[in-house]
Structure formats: structure tokens, C-alpha cells
Amino acid sequence: MKELIAAAIVFLPYGFASAETFQIDPAHSSVSFRVRHLVSKVTGRFNKFEGNFDYEKGKPGAWKTSANIDPASINTDVPKRDDHLRSPDFFDVAKCPEMAFKSTKVDGVKGDKAKLHGDLTLHCVTKPVVLDLELAGTVNSPMGLRAGATATGKVNRKDFGIVWNKTLDSGGLMLGDDVEITIEVEGGAKKG
């Protein structure tokens, strides 16, 4: 019996090891988007965001993430356009001051790639989305244990109630409906 208890004490930590929790480092991460405007694409980003993710190599069942983004921090490098994007025509930041993503599962794992499922809250509407996830793994650095990943995907802005557009004299619309999302994340292991 003593041998059984001793074996349980030795192997228990390995059987129940949990994923490491990482805090997103905004200085080494980005949340950006692209959307069609006339005949090209406009790129923008959000400058303020925060969140965490759990990661343990080889255990996608333990992977999860949640993040909050400040839509008022939108930046397309054109102040007049950014003001319009904050208005009720688009993000309506006075009425809907939060954007959020919370993962629900990870599947389709092939090497360092997977599908990240989650709920995206945008413009006061929450909808399920699926993002393509590419893991960068972990590394010990002078800043401690770090992990990183890239998530990309596409959402239709009309699904979130963002419907503003302008019909062109020549026909067609000024803006596309599909918004390409790219999230580059680096995080540091949380202490304690």
C-alpha cells in the first residue's frame, strides 16, 4: 500500500498537469483588419486590447483564450476616417464600448495549425466565429516563458449589424462586407 501511495504522489503531477496561462503582451502583439474600399483594401488596427490564453504543447483540449478590445482605439492612420468608424454608422463606441472574443474549443489540429472556435462580440452583437490558428510554440527568454500564435479569419460585418455603405454612381458599393482579421499574439507566463 505504501508503494502505491508513493507512486501516486510521484506521478500525480504529470497526470494532472494543466496548461500554462499567458498574459497577452500588447507591446509585442497586434489586432488588425482589412476591408475592401472601392478597388483596394484599407487596413486598420486596434491600439488597446488585453487578454489571456492557456497553452500546453500537444494538448489542444487545454487551449483557450479570452480577450477584450477597445473599439474606440481604432486606427487607420486617417483621423477623420477613424472618427467616422467610431460613430453610429460603424462601431458606435458610445453605445457599444466593448469588443470581446472568448474561445469555445480548438479542433482540426495538424502540426502547428488548428481551428479556433469562439464567440466574437462586436457592435453589441455576439456571434460564433472560426479562426485559423498557427502556433509559434514557447520559448524561455530574458522576459521569462513566452508563447505566441497567429489567428486569421474573415467575418461579415453585416452579421454584427454594421451595415453602412454607399451606392456608387457607376453601380456597386463603396465598401465590402467581408472583413479580414489578423491577430498576432505574444504572451508572458503569468506568475502565481
Residue 123 has which C-alpha cell?
Answer: 457592435
The answer to whether residue 5 sits within a structural domain is no
The answer to whether residue 85 sits within a structural domain is yes
Is the separation of the CB atoms in 187 and 148 below 8 Å? yes
pLDDT of residue 164: 95
pLDDT of residue 192: 60
Is the separation of the CB atoms in 133 and 147 below 8 Å? no
Total number of domains in the chain: 1
Query: At CA 85, angle to CA 81 and CA 88, rounded to 5?
Result: 135
The answer to whether residue 1 sits within a structural domain is no
Query: At CA 45, angle to CA 43 and CA 49, rounded to 5?
Result: 165
pLDDT under 50: residue ranges of the chain: 1-17
The answer to whether residue 184 sits within a structural domain is yes
Q: What is the pTM of this model?
A: 0.87
pLDDT of residue 191: 78
Residue-number span of the structural domain to which 44 is assigned: 19-189
CATH number at residue 161: 2.40.128.110
Q: What is the 3-state secondary structure (H, E, C) of 23-80?
A: EECHHHCEEEEEEEECCEEEEEEECCEEEEEEECCCCHHHCEEEEEECHHHEECCCHH
